[in-house]
């Protein structure tokens, strides 16, 4: 039996050029989705059709890299066959694994394509080993991606009590809510990540220059207003400024990015199977830069985790491409909570 | 149509909580959900207290269900969950899949809570197969989809459907405590400031539109979901139980109005006028109609389906 994977670098591919950028810059695997609501980055202009998917798989697998396909939204009764067909497509074209959130869909995949490797998506909201083991026992999932809500000590406890591989988010946009447990977007505009595959979707977004400043709205609700010297951000609704008891501030979360690079030695010690980079909605140039930096960092930590130090040049590159140009260790570092 | 009192989502003082359930024993609800589902740090009532309340409410003729924690993070959270299940006297509402695993293993019948994300008949039928006797659809699920779900279930599947029908909608859960954040406190030293906000802490847009309500690690709608004016649409849609979510004041009045609706003593079109002054905020019903959750479409007399 081969050794269990350690710190595989899994990078986002929102398009074929992004996939190639990830592979060329050292990703061990890429993750991607189809051009519809079967995955949680359902934004126009992104993702793959069957032809580009087949080409992406050829490109990656020729270089012995993996292709993981996200089918991580929740199938709904009227359109269930769309998800089933997507699973069939993934199996036929030969992806290395599919990433699922819904137990019903896992049962379908298990029954129809028993050889297909299953990963539990972060959208499955499994935060304990009891939950991870539910999916492992019933559907044979081989890997679970944990929501960005656990501290590393809590992650360690999950690992100690399951034989599923554990994948963690390393870098990129940060959901402050438990993934799969957030309906803020559908409350405001009718579409949620669970069913529609997007949070704060473009069709509900309005940008408007007003005498008070640039205003961003989601289905009419004012999410933020920017002074002339401020850079206006996308109105992801948990990252807006709101008023609570007369005080206006980022009431839920600042527009920051997760960056857990400083915790790589600890992640190596815990035996984390893979590190996921967020950002299928970002450009191929972003993917290239971030992949390169994380490749170097993971190689360094694998060589000697006791002497690992993240390089200022790496951090400078990451800071440049970060959303909001600010970084946080998120929940891995307990005081953030 | 049965009425249920959903789990208390807020953190109230021990006296207020005990007084609330003492009164609830006499209210015309069929089912009462007990227990802490939001934050594991809230400790004014512990499991033995909830079990004592459960006994009292059972004696008063209520069906009691113990609701499990929605976000399980630590080993002590799991320990609390196991205790809830091993007690065995009462049915349990599973609010994440770890609880489902433990309940299925114990062959203990359970209620599939709204955060299990049962969005399709395959998942729902599987839940029924391993012990669910009732399910609560995700709060965003529209009427039409609930009907499609139920129509597509295998004939052997028997499940009650319970809909979140009144109260501030539980929309999101986080590792971070937004109440503590508001007071510039860390979660580990939150000083239990949610005690000061018995119906949540309203978050408004910068132009003064009430939007959300902060309740510790939970984010709710600022508006109160209410299907009182659409009560006659529920049975057709296959709803067996309507869930009323506890609020700090006038809960009895709210329950009485829904009971009158269930008994046919008042008409849905008359309900909003009666309910209005007992609600902590304006109503919304968008999710039921397949729209933005915050939308609201009043029904005028004679127009209702």
Give me the DSSP letters along A290-303. HHHHHHHHHHHHHH
Where do the structural domains in chain A lie, given as residue ranges?
A: 8-174+256-336, 197-249
Size of interface A-B (CB pairs under 8 A): 211
Numbers of helices and strands, H then E, in chain B: 9, 12
Which secondary structure element, helix H or strand E, spans residue B16, and what is its range?
A: helix B14-24
Nearest Cα residue to A150 out of B186, B98, B74? B74
Other beta carbons within 10 Å of A230: 11
Nearest Cα residue to A173 out of A324, A336, A332? A324
Structure-token pair, residue A167: 């994948």
3-class secondary-structure state, position B102: helix
Q: Write down the H helix ranges in chain A.
A: 16-24, 50-62, 80-93, 103-112, 129-139, 152-160, 184-189, 193-196, 264-270, 284-303, 312-321
Query: Mean pLDDT for each consecutive 10-residue tract of chain A (337 residues)?
Result: 85 98 98 95 92 98 98 96 98 98 98 98 97 98 94 95 97 91 97 94 94 96 94 90 96 89 96 96 96 98 95 93 70 69
Nearest Cα residue to A32 out of A289, A201, A281? A281
Q: Between chains, do B98 and A131 touch, taking CB under 8 Å as contact? A: yes
**Second-level CATH architecture of A8-174+256-336:** Alpha-Beta Barrel (3.20)
Which residues have CB under 8 Å from A313's CB, separation 6+? none
Most A CBs within 10 Å: which of B125, B200, B219, as the mutation test of the A interface?
B219
Q: B47 — phi, psi (to 5°)?
A: -50, -45
Query: For B102-145, how does the pLDDT look when each residue is reduced to its tens digit (9 = 90+)?
Result: 999 999 999 999 999 999 999 999 999 999 999 999 999 999 99
Question: What domains lie within chain B, and their CATH numbers?
Answer: 2-170+223-289 (3.20.20.70)
Q: Which residue pairs, CB below 8 angstroms and at least 24 apart, start in A110-114?
A: A110/A139, A110/A140, A112/A84, A112/A87, A112/A88, A113/A87, A113/A88
Residue ranges of B 185-214 with Cβ closer than 8 A to chain A: 186-188, 201-209, 211-212, 214
Residue B181's pLDDT band (cuts 50, 70, 90): very high
Whole-prediction pTM value? 0.96
- B163 and B242 in contact (C-beta within 8 Å)? yes
Most A CBs within 10 Å: which of B86, B174, B181, as the mutation test of the A interface?
B174
Other beta carbons within 10 Å of A298: 23
Chain A neighbors of B125, CB-CB under 8 A:
104
Nearest Cα residue to A73 out of A203, A186, A185, A180? A180
Q: Between chains, do B140 and A133 touch, taking CB under 8 Å as contact? A: no
Q: How high is the pLDDT of residue A322?
A: 82
Q: How high is the pLDDT of residue B20?
A: 98
Which secondary structure element, helix H or strand E, spans residue A180, and what is its range?
A: strand A177-182
Burial class (CB in 10 A: 0-12, 13-18, 19+), B217: buried
* Whether the predicted interface score ipTM is above 0.90: yes
Q: Residue B187 and residue B286: Cα distance in Å, rounded?
A: 33
Nearest Cα residue to B196 out of B248, B241, B157? B248
Give, in degrees to the nearest 5, the angle at Cα B140 between A78 and A85: 30
> Is the predicted pLDDT of residue B266 greater than 80, yes or no?
yes
Q: Between chains, do A102 and B169 touch, taking CB under 8 Å as contact? A: no
> Is the predicted pLDDT of residue B304 greater than 70, yes or no?
no
Q: How high is the pLDDT of residue A336?
A: 65
Q: How high is the pLDDT of residue B300?
A: 66
Residue ranges of A 112-171 with Cβ closer than 8 A to chain B: 124-131, 133-135, 137, 148-150, 154, 157
Say which of A104, A157, A195 has its CB closest to residue B126. A104
Q: Residue A160 and residue A199: Cα distance in Å, rounded?
A: 33
Say which of A131, A150, A251 has its CB closest to residue B101. A131
């Amino acid at each position: 039996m081969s050794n269990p994977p350690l710190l595989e670098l899994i990078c986002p591919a929102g398009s074929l050029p992004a996939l190639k950028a990830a592979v060329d810059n050292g990703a061990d695997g890429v993750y991607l989705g189809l051009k519809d609501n079967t995955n949680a980055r359902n934004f126009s202009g992104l993702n793959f059709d069957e032809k580009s998917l087949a080409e992406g798989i050829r490109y990656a697998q020729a270089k012995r890299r993996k292709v993981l396909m996200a089918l991580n939204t929740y199938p709904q009764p009227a359109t269930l066959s769309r998800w089933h067909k997507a699973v069939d497509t993934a199996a036929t074209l030969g992806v290395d694994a599919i990433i699922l959130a819904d137990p019903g869909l896992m049962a379908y995949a298990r029954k129809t394509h028993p050889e297909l490797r299953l990963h539990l998506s972060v959208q499955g909201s499994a935060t304990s080993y009891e939950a991870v083991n539910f999916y492992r026992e019933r559907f044979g999932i081989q890997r679970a991606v944990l929501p960005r809500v656990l501290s590393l000590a809590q992650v360690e406890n999950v690992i100690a009590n399951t034989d599923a591989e554990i994948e963690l988010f390393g870098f990129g946009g940060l959901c402050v809510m438990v993934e799969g447990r957030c309906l803020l977007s559908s409350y405001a505009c009718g579409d949620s990540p669970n069913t529609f595959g997007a949070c704060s979707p473009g069709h509900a977004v309005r940008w408007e220059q007003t005498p008070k400043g640039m205003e961003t709205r989601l289905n009419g609700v004012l999410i933020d207003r920017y002074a002339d010297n401020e850079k206006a951000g996308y109105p992801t609704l948990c990252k807006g400024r709101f008023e609570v008891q007369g005080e206006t501030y980022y009431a839920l979360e600042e527009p920051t990015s997760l960056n857990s690079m400083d915790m790589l030695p600890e992640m190596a010690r815990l035996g984390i199977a893979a590190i996921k980079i967020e950002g299928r909605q970002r450009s191929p140039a972003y993917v290239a830069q971030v992949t390169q930096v994380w490749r170097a960092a993971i190689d360094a930590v694998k060589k000697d985790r006791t002497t690992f130090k993240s390089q200022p040049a790496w951090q400078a590159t990451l800071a440049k491409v970060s959303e909001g140009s600010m970084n946080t260790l998120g929940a891995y570092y307990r005081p953030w909570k | 149509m049965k009425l249920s009192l959903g789990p208390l989502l807020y953190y109230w003082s021990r006296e207020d909580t005990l007084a609330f359930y003492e009164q609830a024993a006499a209210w015309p609800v069929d089912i009462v959900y007990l227990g802490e589902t939001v934050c594991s740090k809230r400790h004014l009532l512990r499991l033995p207290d909830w079990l004592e309340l459960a006994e009292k409410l059972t004696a008063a003729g209520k069906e009691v269900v113990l609701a499990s924690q929605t976000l399980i993070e630590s080993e002590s959270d799991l320990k609390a969950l196991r205790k809830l299940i091993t007690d065995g006297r009462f049915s349990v509402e599973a609010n994440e899949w770890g609880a489902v695993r433990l309940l299925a293993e114990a062959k203990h019948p359970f209620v599939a809570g709204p955060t299990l994300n049962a969005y399709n008949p395959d998942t729902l039928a599987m839940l029924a197969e391993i012990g669910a006797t009732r399910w609560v659809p995700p709060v965003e699920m529209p009427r039409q989809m609930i009907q499609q779900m139920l129509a597509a279930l295998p004939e052997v599947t028997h499940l009650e459907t319970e809909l979140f029908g009144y109260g501030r909608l539980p929309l999101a859960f986080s590792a971070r405590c937004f109440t503590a954040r508001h007071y510039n406190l860390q979660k580990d030293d939150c000083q239990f400031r949610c005690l000061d906000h018995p119906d949540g802490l309203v978050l408004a847009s910068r132009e003064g539109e009430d939007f959300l309500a902060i309740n510790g690690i939970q984010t709710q709608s600022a508006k109160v979901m209410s299907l009182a004016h659409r009560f006659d649409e529920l049975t057709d849609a296959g709803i067996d139980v309507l869930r009323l979510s506890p609020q700090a004041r006038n809960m009895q009045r709210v329950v009485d109005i829904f009971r009158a609706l269930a008994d046919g003593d008042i008409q849905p079109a008359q309900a909003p006028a009666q309910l209005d002054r007992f609600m902590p905020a304006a109503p919304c019903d968008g999710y039921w109609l397949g729209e933005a959750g915050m939308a609201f479409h009043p029904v005028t007399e004679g127009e209702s389906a």
